[in-house]
Structure 1
Amino acid sequence: MADDLPLRVLERLRAIDWSDDSAAYEHANSRALLMREYLRRAAGWARAYRAEESWPFFDITEHVAPEVRTPSDVAAELEAVLTGLAPSSLRKTCRGAVR
């Protein structure tokens, strides 16, 4: 099950409609709550691994298990999904989630 985790996360990212900017406003409260929870969790990981300088948008795997790599086929598919997305912090966070 853990072996297919990168692919499952990639599939979830693929399911997002990145072009629907109006959805951000329609779900502002839940998005704010999700962001707050992400920041809280990311801060905990950053403190635990002395990676505060990388917070808030970072790949915690670089600090926890740097030898872990995203499978090359999944990485290539991920880059296709991320093409054209801005800002770079979004792309970095997505890469970290898949990794």
Structure 2
Amino acid sequence: MANHKSAEKRNRQSQVRRMRNRVNRSKMKTAIRSLNQVIETGSAEEAKAALAVTVPVIAKTASKGTIHKKNASRKISRLTKRVNGMETSA
């Protein structure tokens, strides 16, 4: 347990940051999950529309510092590759 005033403040701040990061990460995972469902079942046009919704969510998560920017870039790249692969196979 924190014994100093500054340590108590750090504890409060870290709890707030943890919850904020958790919300951001959850939004990102939900967006990716919904995109994956569209890729599995839907058409290429639906997948492109879902990708257009998902990419900004991932980028925003990275800009907030919840995930690393290269991690976000990798996720966006792989999802875009999957959507573009649907187009060529269809």
Question: What TM-score, normalized by structure 1, do the two folds share?
Answer: 0.31
Question: What TM-score, normalized by structure 2, do the two folds share?
Answer: 0.33
Q: Which has the higher contact order (CA 8 A, sep 6+)?
A: 1
Higher helix share: 2
Asked which structure has the greater CA Rg, the reply is 2
